[in-house]
């Protein structure tokens, strides 16, 4: 009998279907994309040349610079979403010759390993993943499919205070792998497993990843193409918070019991729904739109869980890195005019001590390894983003965990930007460079978001406009660009809602800013394991910057309303523009506060 968890009630949820491709929609998006870029150039040209407030350049220049940086992101997004090319699904592979050129080697049925990486998760939660992995079906009986639990928590019974993961693995009849240290975190854990196993293909799953039985049937066929290094499937979180009726929230918070009042509340707020995916976890936009469209440029990157890899690809990269490390040392020593014997001695020592590392030891090991594989001009590795959902996972269940997870992604990506920027990486095609740069550029967003959030506040309290005039010319340029941009994004996202994504993009400015400073200082990125259970405590520290900005904005609006009413406001159109802008900011920032104090309605009391 499996242990009951909070997510058991969501077990019957069905995944979304990948949106079918449409050529007409793509052409329409491309037209709108070009038009948006033209309008953006026209707007920025007007902003820089005709709209600067020369009496307040301290205010005017940062705003227009922020708008320019933001526009670069818009252009990169249009490039990313330019076209769709779904990969052709092939029947499952059977023999080694289906995926490799044997060159006189004897042929044999394939070996496939399934890795379930775990660290400190509840062992019974991991059992769910093992049970589902055991249900994987494959049409060929002689293909050897092995399941391995990779336990980086060393829960093999030596420490009685810890749960026993080894026992669970033995009970389920799967292999159990541990190591005596945690070097390289998840990447190190996978490296250790690859050293001990021999599968031609291997699947990476997290402790909470529950694969569907058809996972291998639907993904292994892509490896018929010899250049395919990995296939990533969309990560689907099946435990996202459900939308709640606003009337139910009000009744629950105020503990209303009067029937008439309850009916009135139902009548007034019954149609309004709130708190769907309150933590902004839903990755559909990322997988079904951004990653899927990257197949066009061969730039879809690996996201870890729910992916299947060709062993040869990651191992060839590891060996290449190893050889380059030795070569580099030899060249460095030769440049220092060291004796040949000394060079040989040191390179030999390195040969013995250096390890072969298939996945880069990095906080963002998935994206970093993907960049390295795509940049391998010798093997010309390709990646596939499979559009259909083949597994389900758990999302973060509180804001604290969500922020930690997000900060790790941000720190990891920014670290790559500062150390080994893909834009300047040799071997990547222009399309790949632009797609990777798009991912990294989005983490530089606090540079312009902070200006966008503070500008209306500065205007409200100083009454200094950042533009020369809030006149027809301003609205003509600004509104046409913004409206066209919204149409383009809606078309590009194929109608998938961007509301929550936008809210979290803006309200994550503070955490992205902290990550940016940390990466710029060269601080080592910490690898945080994302918790998979529901916490009890609420951390309100995260929302202090948001509360301060919201308070200042509301205070500024109140002050300006007083000035307007008394006839002392110098520019009413300026107030209107900034107030409208503020509403959008407030709407975005408020999600963090709602998420902090979110508590699902107890339906059992109904």
Partner 1 sequence: MDYKFLIKPTVYIISILASCWMTLKIETLSPSDFNKGPSFVHKKHSTHIKYQFVSAPLKVTYPPFNKIYLKNLCNAYKDGKIDSTVLDDELTRYISILKNYPANMSMQALNNKEK
Q: Which two tokens stand for residue 273?
A: 């729904």
* Rounded Cα gap, residues 334 and 344, in angstroms: 10
According to CB under 8 A, which one of 2, 27, 344, 544 is a site residue for partner 1? 27
Judge residue 536's burial from the number of C-beta atoms within 10 Å of its C-beta, 0-12 exposed, 13-18 middle, 19 or more buried.
exposed
Least distance from C-beta 474 to partner 1, angstroms? 8
Q: Is 182 in the site for partner 1 (CB under 8 A)?
A: no
Note the maximum CA span of the chain: 94
Strand, coil or helix: 522 = coil
Least distance from C-beta 40 to partner 1, angstroms? 10
According to CB under 8 A, which one of 16, 30, 162, 262 is a site residue for partner 1? 30
Residue whose pair of structure tokens reads 């399309």 in the numeric block: 431
Q: Is 470 in the site for partner 1 (CB under 8 A)?
A: yes
Which 8-state DSSP code applies to residue 288?
I
Whole-Å CA distances, 322 to 40, 319, 351, 355, 372? 46, 5, 8, 7, 13
Whole-Å CA distances, 401 to 206, 281, 335, 338, 546? 16, 11, 48, 51, 18
Least distance from C-beta 576 to partner 1, angstroms? 10
Q: Is 461 in the site for partner 1 (CB under 8 A)?
A: no
Least distance from C-beta 213 to partner 1, angstroms? 40
68 or 480: CB nearest partner 1: 480
| Contact in structure between 397 and 7 (CB atoms under 8 Å) | no
| Contact in structure between 163 and 123 (CB atoms under 8 Å) | yes
* Rounded Cα gap, residues 408 and 396, in angstroms: 14
Q: Pick the stretch among 93-101, 353-361, 400-408, 465-473 that binds partner 1 (CB under 8 A).
A: 465-473
164 or 571: CB nearest partner 1: 571
Q: Is 482 in the site for partner 1 (CB under 8 A)?
A: no
> Rounded to 5 degrees, what are φ and ψ at 237?
-90, 115
Q: Pick the stretch among 194-202, 470-478, 510-518, 596-604 that binds partner 1 (CB under 8 A).
A: 470-478
Q: Pick the stretch among 26-34, 332-340, 377-385, 548-556 that binds partner 1 (CB under 8 A).
A: 26-34
According to CB under 8 A, which one of 287, 381, 441, 474 is a site residue for partner 1? 474
Q: Pick the stretch among 39-47, 256-264, 359-367, 404-412 that binds partner 1 (CB under 8 A).
A: 39-47
Question: What is the CB neighbour count within 10 angstroms for residue 98?
Answer: 19
Q: Is 573 in the site for partner 1 (CB under 8 A)?
A: yes
Site for partner 1 in 326-355 (CB under 8 A): none
| Contact in structure between 575 and 560 (CB atoms under 8 Å) | yes
| Contact in structure between 99 and 223 (CB atoms under 8 Å) | yes
79 or 449: CB nearest partner 1: 79
Closest CA to 179 of 167, 190, 163: 190
* Rounded Cα gap, residues 398 and 535, in angstroms: 7
Q: Pick the stretch among 25-33, 129-137, 385-393, 437-445 that binds partner 1 (CB under 8 A).
A: 25-33
Closest CA to 3 of 240, 145, 171, 116: 171
Binding mask 206-225 for partner 1 (x = CB under 8 A): --------------------
According to CB under 8 A, which one of 8, 17, 42, 540 is a site residue for partner 1? 42
442 or 468: CB nearest partner 1: 468
Site for partner 1 in 497-516 (CB under 8 A): none
164 or 468: CB nearest partner 1: 468
According to CB under 8 A, which one of 74, 164, 346, 480 is a site residue for partner 1? 480
Q: Which two tokens stand for residue 266?
A: 């139902």
Q: Is 34 in the site for partner 1 (CB under 8 A)?
A: yes
Least distance from C-beta 61 to partner 1, angstroms? 19
Closest CA to 582 of 446, 451, 456, 469: 456
According to CB under 8 A, which one of 5, 7, 39, 236 is a site residue for partner 1? 39
Q: Pick the stretch among 35-43, 225-233, 298-306, 517-525 that binds partner 1 (CB under 8 A).
A: 35-43
Least distance from C-beta 192 to partner 1, angstroms? 48
> Rounded to 5 degrees, what are φ and ψ at 112?
-125, 130
Least distance from C-beta 470 to partner 1, angstroms? 5
Closest CA to 507 of 429, 604, 399, 422: 399
360 or 477: CB nearest partner 1: 477
497 or 573: CB nearest partner 1: 573
Q: Is 54 in the site for partner 1 (CB under 8 A)?
A: no
> Rounded to 5 degrees, what are φ and ψ at 240?
-65, 150
Question: What is the CB neighbour count within 10 angstroms for residue 424?
Answer: 9
Contact positions toward partner 1, by CB under 8 A? 27, 30-31, 34-35, 37-39, 41-42, 468-474, 476-477, 480, 571, 573
């Amino acid at each position: 009998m499996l242990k009951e968890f909070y997510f058991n009630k969501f077990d019957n949820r069905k995944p979304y279907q990948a949106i079918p491709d449409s050529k007409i929609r793509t052409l329409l998006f491309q037209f709108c994309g070009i038009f948006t870029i033209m309008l953006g150039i026209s707007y920025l040209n007007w902003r820089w040349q005709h709209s600067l407030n020369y009496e307040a350049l301290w205010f005017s220049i940062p705003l227009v610079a922020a708008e320019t940086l933001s526009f670069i992101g818009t252009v990169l997004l249009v490039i990313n979403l330019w076209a769709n090319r779904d990969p052709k699904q092939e029947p499952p592979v059977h023999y080694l010759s289906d995926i490799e050129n044997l060159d006189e080697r004897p042929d044999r049925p394939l070996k496939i390993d399934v890795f379930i990486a775990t660290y400190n998760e509840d062992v019974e939660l991991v059992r769910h993943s093992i049970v589902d992995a055991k249900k994987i079906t494959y049409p060929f009986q002689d293909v050897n499919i092995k399941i391995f639990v990779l336990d980086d928590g060393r829960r093999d019974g030596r420490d009685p205070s810890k749960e026993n993961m080894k026992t669970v693995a033995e009970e389920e009849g799967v292999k159990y792998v541990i190591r005596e240290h945690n070097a390289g975190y998840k990447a190190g854990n996978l490296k250790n497993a690859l050293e001990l196993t021999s599968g031609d293909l291997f699947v990476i799953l997290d402790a909470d990843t529950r694969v569907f039985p058809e996972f291998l049937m639907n993904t292994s066929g892509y490896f018929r193409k010899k250049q395919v290094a990995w296939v990533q499937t969309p990560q689907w979180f099946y435990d996202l918070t459900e939308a709640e009726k606003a009337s139910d929230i009000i009744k629950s918070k105020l503990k209303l019991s009067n029937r008439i009042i309850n009916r009135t509340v139902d009548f007034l707020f019954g149609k309004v729904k709130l708190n769907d995916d309150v933590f902004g976890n839903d990755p559909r936009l990322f997988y079904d739109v951004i990653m899927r469209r990257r197949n066009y440029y061969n730039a879809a990157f690996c996201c870890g869980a729910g992916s299947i890899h060709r062993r040869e690809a990651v191992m060839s990269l590891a060996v290449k890195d190893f050889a380059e490390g030795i070569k580099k040392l030899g060249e460095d020593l030769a440049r220092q005019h060291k004796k040949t014997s000394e060079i040989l001695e040191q390179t030999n020592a390195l040969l013995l001590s250096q390890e072969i590392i298939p996945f880069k030891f990095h906080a963002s090991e998935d994206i970093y390894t993907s960049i390295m594989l795509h940049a391998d001009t010798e093997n010309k590795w390709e990646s596939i983003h499979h559009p259909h959902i083949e597994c389900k996972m758990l999302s973060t269940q509180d804001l604290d965990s969500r922020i930690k997870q997000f900060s790790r992604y941000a720190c990891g990506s920014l670290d790559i930007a500062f150390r080994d920027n893909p834009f300047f990486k040799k071997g990547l095609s222009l399309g790949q460079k632009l797609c990777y740069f798009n991912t990294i550029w989005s983490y530089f967003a606090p540079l312009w978001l902070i200006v966008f959030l503070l500008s209306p506040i500065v205007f409200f309290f100083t009454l200094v406009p950042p533009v020369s005039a809030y006149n027809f010319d301003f609205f003509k340029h600004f509104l046409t660009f913004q409206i066209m941009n919204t149409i383009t994004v809606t078309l590009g996202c194929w109608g998938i809602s961007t509301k929550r994504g936008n809210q979290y993009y803006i309200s994550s400015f503070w955490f992205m800013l902290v990550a940016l400073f940390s990466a710029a200082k060269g601080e080592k990125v910490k690898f945080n394991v994302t918790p998979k259970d529901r916490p009890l405590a609420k951390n309100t520290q995260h929302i202090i910057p948001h509360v301060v900005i919201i308070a200042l904005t509301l205070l500024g609006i109140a002050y300006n309303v007083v000035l307007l009413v008394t006839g002392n406001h110098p520019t009413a159109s300026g107030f209107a523009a900034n107030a409208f802008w503020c509403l959008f900011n407030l709407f975005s920032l408020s999600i963090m506060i709602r998420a902090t104090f979110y508590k699902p309605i107890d339906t059992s009391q109904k």
